[in-house]
Amino acid sequence: MEPPEIRAWSPPVGGIREVLHARFTDHAYPAHTHDAWTLLIVDTGAVRYMLDKHEHGTWTSQVTLLPPHVPHDGRATSPDGFRKRVLYLDSDLLAPAAIGAAVDAPGLPDALLRRRIDQLHRALTPFTEHLEAQSRLALIRERLKDRLTRRAAPVARRDPGVAARLRELLDERTVEGVALDEAATTLQAHPAHLVRAFTKAYGIPPHRYLTGRRVDLARRLLLAGRSPAEVAPEVGFYDQAHLGRHFKRMLGVGPANYAGRRGGR
């Protein structure tokens, strides 16, 4: 019998109460409820569960959405167990009317939604990329609302005015950053529309634009002789490791090596 592997934390992202990454082999959840929405993806194995006295299953190709206050249990379908990632979302993230739809059909065969949830989990570890996490949650929330109300996903439309204003705001607040909800209030636009309009206008989402601006600023400071450890917090990263991860992803080398190549671009 293998012991379970569990990692749980509360990220500083509005709307997300808790994140759980776990692997179970022989553990079976007894019937229980949550006061939050449970958004679940399975990475290996499969899970069988009862929800409102009806049996369901979730596999690696699916997204599972369990509504608040509705009893459910859970167990592996094979001795190999399962590995899952879960987001517990505030109960008001979706309208109460969505609960009935989630009870009737908690399993969502939606490849785009699953990919977005995977990306959100990655944005929450090992450092919480705040703007990215908020942006991805906004798109996930919108997709869930569309699925639960059986409407087609909205088509991104150009809105160069709001996109340009968001870019100006990100340029002004490169180091300290800006929360998506705050930007939406400031620009009087829905958060998901902000993300879509910016991406449509500039070809990259706002969080990636902000990261690029921070890396550009880091490059200038590094070439001026500053150390990566000093530069990282001054340009908006948590620490040197956080800077190094984004710097290498963008430029192919770490900050220290880049600073040694004075002619690099």
Are residues 185 and 219 both part of a single domain?
no
What's 28's DSSP letter?
A: -
Q: What is the CA radius of gyration of the chain?
A: 21
Question: Does residue 155 lie in a domain region?
Answer: no
Based on the domain organization, do 43 and 144 belong to the same domain? yes
State the pTM of this model.
0.84
Phi, psi of 74 (to 5 degrees): 180, 145
Domain membership flag for residue 79: yes
The CATH number of whichever domain residue 115 belongs to comes to: 2.60.120.10
Residues 107 and 220 in one domain: no
Answer yes or no: do 91 and 133 share one domain.
yes
In a domain, 153, yes or no: no
The answer to whether residues 186 and 256 belong to one domain is no
The 10s digit of each residue's pLDDT in 102-119 is 999 999 999 999 999 999
Please determine, for residue 229, whether its predicted confidence score (pLDDT) is greater than 60: yes
Q: Residue 217 pLDDT > 90, yes or no? A: yes
Q: Could you give the dihedral angle defined by the CA atoms of residues 123, 125, 130 and 136, in that order, rounded to the nearest 10 degrees?
A: 30
17 and 120 assigned to the same domain: yes
Residue 62 has pLDDT above 50, yes or no: yes
For residues 74 and 32, membership in a common domain is answered with yes
Helical pair 191-202 and 160-172, crossing angle rounded to 10 deg? 90
> Residue 152 above 60 pLDDT?
no
Mean pLDDT of 229-249: 95
